C-alpha cells in the first residue's frame, strides 16, 4: 500500500477534543483533498471519543482493545478508494499504540507533549467533571508524569521514525494555535483558523460544586450538569490546588523530564515549551472547600439559567438522608434557595399579570 495512514493518539489533556471537533467539521473539505477522516459522534460542547470505534472494540472484561476485523475493513475500504490519506484520531489510541502499530505497520503517529504540571491538575479536574470523583486532589513527593512515561516507552517500542511529535503550548505563547499546528503537522490543506473552544474548564466554584454533587450519584443528570457548569464562567478562572512550595519542587521535576524527552526526541517547538515551563509562575493557590457562599452563588446561577435542571437536582437531594450534619446543612441550603427562588419568581409573575 502506497497510501499514507496517520494516527493521532493524543495523549489525553492535550487538546484532542478540539482537534477532533475541527477535523469532523472539515470532513467534506478534507475528502475533496484526498483525505479520509471517518465520521464519529460529537457530543455536547464538542466532546467526542474520535475514531475510537473505527478500529477498537470492547472485550469480555469491558476494556477497549484493537479489533483486527475492524482494522482490516477500514484498510480494505481505504485501499479501494481514490483517497491518498487515512487520518484517525482518538486519545484511546494512546494506551494501545503499540498494538495498533503492530496491526498497521505502515501507520505514522502524531502525539503532543504538554507541560506535566498542567496535565497533572487538568487530569484531576477532568476526573471531577466527567468521572464522578468526590475526593480532593492529593499530592505526593514527586510529580506524576504517567503520560510522559507511557509516551516515552511507546516511542522506544515502536520507533522514533514513526512519530511526529509536537509541543502543546498555551495560546499566549507566540500566537500559538493548536488547530493550525495540527494541520501543519499532518500536512493538511490550509483551513480557516478555528476559534471554537471545546471542553471548557470549570471555574473554581463550579469545580468544587461538581465534586460535592458527585457524591449523590446523579448519573442521569450528569451531562446536563456538566454543560451548565461549563457555562458558569464569571468567577475564579485561574487557580491551582498546588501549594507554592510544592509547585517549585514539581516545576523542577517537570522541567528535568521535559528537557530529557526533548533532548532524546525531535519535538517541534520543544525548546519553546522548555522556556515556557522554566519561567512559568504558580497560579493562585486555593484550598479545596465549598463554602456556603460559593454554594449559594452556583445555585443562584443554576436557578436563573437552568431552572428545570436545578429543580431536578433539588428533587434528588430532597430524598437524600445523612447523619453528617455539615452535609445536611448544605443540602438544606440548596433546597431553601430553590424555595426562595420560586417565591420570588411567583411574585414577579403576579406583578407582570397585574
The residue among 305, 184, 288 whose CA lies nearest residue 234 is: 305
The full set of domain ranges for the chain reads 4-113+144-186, 204-236+290-353
Asked whether the beta carbons of 241 and 285 are under 8 A apart, the reply is yes
Give the Å distances, CA to CA, from 140 to 114, 120, 148, 242, 249.
Answer: 20, 12, 17, 11, 11
Asked whether the beta carbons of 93 and 154 are under 8 A apart, the reply is no
Chain centre distance of CA 115: 15
d(CA 265, CA 142): 23
pTM of the entire predicted model = 0.88
d(CA 341, CA 190): 51
The residue among 181, 177, 165, 186 whose CA lies nearest residue 33 is: 186
Give the fold, CATH level 3, of 4-113+144-186: Rossmann fold (3.40.50)
Backbone torsions φ then ψ of 165, nearest 5 degrees? -110, 135
Alpha helices by DSSP H, 15-104: 16-25, 27-32, 52-55, 68-80, 97-103
Per-residue model confidence (pLDDT) at position 231: 83
Q: Is 185 exposed, middle or buried (0-12, 13-18, 19+ CB in 10 A)?
A: middle
Per-residue model confidence (pLDDT) at position 235: 81
Per-residue model confidence (pLDDT) at position 201: 83
Q: Is 323 exposed, middle or buried (0-12, 13-18, 19+ CB in 10 A)?
A: exposed
Q: Which residues of 62-100 are buried (b: 16+ CB within 10 A; e: fewer)?
A: eebebbeeebeebbeebeeeebebbbbbbbbbbbbbeeb
Q: In what order do the strands lie in the sheet with 35-36?
A: 35-36, 85-89, 4-8, 108-113, 163-167, 267-268
d(CA 58, CA 93): 13
pLDDT in tens, the chain (354 residues): 579 999 999 999 999 999 999 999 999 999 999 999 999 988 766 678 899 999 999 999 989 999 999 999 999 999 999 999 999 999 999 999 999 999 999 999 999 999 999 999 999 999 999 889 999 999 999 998 999 999 999 999 999 999 999 999 987 777 889 999 999 999 988 766 555 556 678 999 999 999 999 999 898 999 899 989 988 877 888 899 999 889 999 999 999 999 999 999 999 999 999 999 999 999 999 999 999 999 999 998 999 889 999 999 999 999 888 888 889 999 999 998 888 766 654 554 455 444
Q: Name, in order, each residue with C-beta under 8 angstroms of 53's C-beta and a sequence gap of 6 or more.
A: 40
Q: Which residues of 125-147 are buried (b: 16+ CB within 10 A; e: fewer)?
A: bbbbbeebbeeebeeeeebbbeb
d(CA 8, CA 20): 10
Per-residue model confidence (pLDDT) at position 172: 73
Residue keyed to cell 494541520: 183
Amino acid at each position: 500500500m502506497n497510501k499514507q495512514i496517520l494516527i493521532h493518539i493524543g495523549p489525553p489533556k492535550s487538546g484532542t477534543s478540539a482537534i477532533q471537533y475541527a477535523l469532523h467539521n472539515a470532513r467534506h473539505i478534507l475528502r475533496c483533498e484526498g483525505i479520509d477522516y471517518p465520521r464519529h459522534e460529537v457530543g455536547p460542547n464538542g466532546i467526542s471519543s474520535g475514531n475510537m470505534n473505527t478500529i477498537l472494540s470492547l472485550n469480555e472484561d469491558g476494556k477497549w482493545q484493537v479489533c483486527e476485523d475492524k482494522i482490516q475493513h477500514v484498510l480494505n475500504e481505504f485501499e479501494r478508494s481514490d483517497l491518498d490519506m487515512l487520518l484517525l484520531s482518538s486519545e484511546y489510541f494512546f494506551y494501545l499504540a503499540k498494538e495498533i502499530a503492530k496491526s498497521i505497520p505502515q501507520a505514522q503517529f502524531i502525539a503532543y507533549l504538554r507541560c506535566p504540571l498542567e496535565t497533572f491538575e487538568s487530569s484531576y479536574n477532568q476526573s471531577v467533571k466527567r468521572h464522578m470523583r468526590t475526593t480532593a486532589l492529593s499530592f505526593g513527593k514527586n510529580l506524576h508524569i504517567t503520560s510522559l512515561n507511557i509516551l516515552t516507552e511507546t516511542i522506544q517500542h515502536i520507533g522514533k521514525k514513526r512519530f511526529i511529535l509536537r509541543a502543546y503550548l498555551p495560546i499566549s505563547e507566540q500566537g500559538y494555535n493548536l488547530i493550525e499546528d495540527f494541520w501543519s503537522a499532518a500536512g493538511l490543506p490550509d483551513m480557516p483558523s478555528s476559534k471554537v473552544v471545546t471542553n471548557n474548564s470549570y471555574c473554581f466554584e463550579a469545580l468544587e460544586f461538581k465534586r460535592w454533587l458527585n457524591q449523590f450519584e446523579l448519573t442521569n443528570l450528569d451531562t446536563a450538569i456538566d454543560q451548565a457548569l461549563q457555562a458558569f464562567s464569571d468567577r475564579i478562572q485561574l487557580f491551582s490546588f498546588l501549594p507554592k512550595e510544592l509547585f517549585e519542587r514539581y516545576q523542577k521535576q517537570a522541567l528535568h523530564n521535559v528537557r530529557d524527552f526533548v533532548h532524546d526526541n525531535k519535538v517541534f517547538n520543544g525548546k519553546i515549551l522548555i522556556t515556557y515551563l522554566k519561567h512559568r509562575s504558580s497560579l493562585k493557590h486555593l484550598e479545596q472547600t465549598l463554602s456556603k457562599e460559593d454554594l449559594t452563588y452556583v445555585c443562584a446561577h443554576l436557578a436563573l439559567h437552568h431552572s428545570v435542571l436545578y429543580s431536578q437536582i433539588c428533587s434528588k437531594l430532597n430524598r437524600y438522608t445523612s447523619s453528617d450534619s455539615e452535609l445536611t446543612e448544605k443540602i438544606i441550603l440548596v433546597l431553601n434557595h430553590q424555595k426562595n427562588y420560586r417565591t420570588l419568581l411567583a411574585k414577579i409573575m403576579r406583578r407582570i399579570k397585574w
